[in-house]
Structure formats: structure tokens, C-alpha cells
């Protein structure tokens, strides 16, 4: 059953957005009385289509289902080329990321002005919404504004992780196994050229744990997905 997110309710009916209405009617070719899933305030409802243009559905049943990790994981991803960032956002959402922070560092290939990023952020938010629907999640991860190292070190998390290729780093597996009661975690992933020694040092000096994902050197777009997969395994309910 197709899943959609909705923010508008009126007299026990949900009014879906224009984009979702188009998808239901034109792409999925649904009909009046067809059933869909609707997420409203993180709750799941089985609903029946009553009208088109826009699609209005009535609630048939509320379902007790919450498909989220037991931990809120923020992926702080250094800016990469568009295709790679799209992949990270889509697959990261499917793997349960709670939010994403684009990070601008010295070796970032991509740079955005505030105006360009506002347009990009709308597109990225659409990617995570569609990935949330596809993977049957109860929330849509938020893509936050671009930050720098000086901003990241001020953030408050129970566990702060820096992924690195430094051979003396602790394994992520070990760190996760020793932080089972963690509620909020941030994972910082470097760009293709890696972090500078100064950037890594600043993060470590502000409580970030330097970890390795294994003996193999991973591409930046692979690293975040590898880390999320390991977190899924360690924290699965």
C-alpha cells in the first residue's frame, strides 16, 4: 500500500498536497475508494480516497506501527557532487537517519551561496520525503542548513563520531557496543580529499570520537551508509 505524509486534517479527513495528489491520480492511477497509508504527526492511518484535485481521504483505521530506529542519528556529510549527495540522502533515509547536516570544509569540492542552497535544499527535502514513503517510515528526516566545523563543535549530542582513515582510531563497532544507552548521535563524514589535520584536531578536541569503519578505504558516499548499516545492526529492536 502506498504511503504518504500529510500535515492537513479537517473533519477526520486528510487533504494531501498537490504533488502527492498528482502522484496518486496520474502516476499511480488510483481510483475513488482505493486505500492508501497516511502518516500524520508520526501516526499511521489507513485511509480511503474520497475526492481528487486535491486528493481528500477519510480515515478508516489507525494502525499501531512505528518504523524508526531506537536512536536519533544525524549524518553530517561534507559537501559532495550532486549525484553523490542525492544517493547519501536517499539511502541514508532508507537506513533510518534522523537528520542531515551538509558540512562545508576546506577540501569540499562543492560550494553554495545561500540563494543556491535554498533551492537545492528544497530538492533534497523532496528526496528524503520520497525515500521515507518508500521505506515506510513515520518521519521525514530534515535537511538542515550548511554548517562549518565551528558550528558543529557547538552541537549537543550524546555521542559524537568522526569517521577517519587514521589507523590508530577505534573501530565504530567497539564504540557502538559501549554506548547502547545513547539517544542522540552525530556522525561526521569528510569530503573526497578528507579533513585537514587541523579540522580533525578541532573536532576531537571538542568531544568527537575518532573511529574507523574497517581496513578498507571507503568513498565518502559509502562511508555514511556503512556507518548507518552498522548502527542498524547494533541498535535494531
Q: Do the Cβ atoms of 103 and 77 come closer than 8 Å?
A: yes
> CA neighbours within 13 Å on the CB side: how many for 83?
0
- Rounded to whole angstroms, how far apart are CA atoms 21 and 15? 9
Burial category of 124 from C-beta neighbours within 10 Å (exposed 0-12, middle 13-18, buried 19 and up) = buried
- Is residue 168's pLDDT more than 70? no
The pLDDT tens digits for 48-101 are 999 998 999 999 999 999 989 889 999 999 999 989 999 999 999 999 999 999
Domains in the chain with CATH codes: 3-63 (2.40.240.20), 72-235 (3.40.1280.10)
Spatial distance between the Cα atoms of 106 and 159, rounded to a whole number of angstroms: 24
Q: What average pLDDT does this structure show over 163-167?
A: 79
Average pLDDT, the chain: 92
Task: Report how far residue 76's alpha carbon sits from residue 90's, in angstroms, rounded to the nearest whole number.
Answer: 14
Q: pTM, whole model, 2 decimals? A: 0.92
pLDDT of residue 162: 95
Residues 202-213, mean pLDDT to the nearest whole number: 94
Q: Is the pLDDT of residue 134 over 60?
A: yes
Cβ–Cβ < 8 Å for 79, 112? yes
Amino acid at each position: 500500500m502506498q504511503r504518504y505524509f500529510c500535515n492537513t486534517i479537517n473533519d477526520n479527513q486528510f487533504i494531501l498536497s498537490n504533488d502527492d495528489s498528482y502522484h496518486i491520480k496520474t502516476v499511480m492511477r488510483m481510483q475513488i475508494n482505493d486505500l492508501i497509508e497516511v502518516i500524520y504527526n508520526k501516526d499511521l492511518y489507513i485511509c480511503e480516497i474520497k475526492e481528487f484535485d486535491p486528493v481528500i481521504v477519510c480515515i478508516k483505521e489507525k494502525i499501531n506501527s512505528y518504523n524508526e530506529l531506537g536512536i536519533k542519528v544525524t549524518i553530517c556529510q561534507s559537501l559532495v557532487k550532486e549525484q553523490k549527495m542525492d544517493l547519501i540522502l536517499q539511502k541514508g533515509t532508507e537506513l533510518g537517519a534522523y537528520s542531515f547536516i551538509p558540512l562545508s570544509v576546506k577540501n569540499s569540492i562543492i560550494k553554495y551561496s545561500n540563494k543556491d542552497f535554498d533551492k537545492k535544499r528544497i530538492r533534497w527535502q523532496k528526496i528524503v520525503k520520497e525515500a521515507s514513503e518508500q521505506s515506510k517510515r513515520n518521519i521525514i528526516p530534515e535537511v538542515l542548513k550548511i554548517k562549518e566545523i565551528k558550528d558543529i563543535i557547538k552541537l549537543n549530542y550524546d555521542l559524537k563520531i568522526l569517521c577517519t582513515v587514521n589507523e590508530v582510531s577505534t573501530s565504530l563497532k567497539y564504540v557502538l557496543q559501549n554506548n547502547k544507552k545513547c539517544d542522540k548521535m552525530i556522525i561526521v563524514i569528510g569530503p573526497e580529499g578528507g579533513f585537514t589535520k587541523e579540522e580533525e584536531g578541532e573536532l576531537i578536541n571538542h568531544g568527537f570520537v575518532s573511529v574507523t569503519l574497517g581496513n578498507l578505504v571507503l568513498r565518502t558516499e559509502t562511508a555514511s551508509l556503512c556507518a548507518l548499516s552498522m548502527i542498524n545492526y547494533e541498535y535494531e529492536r
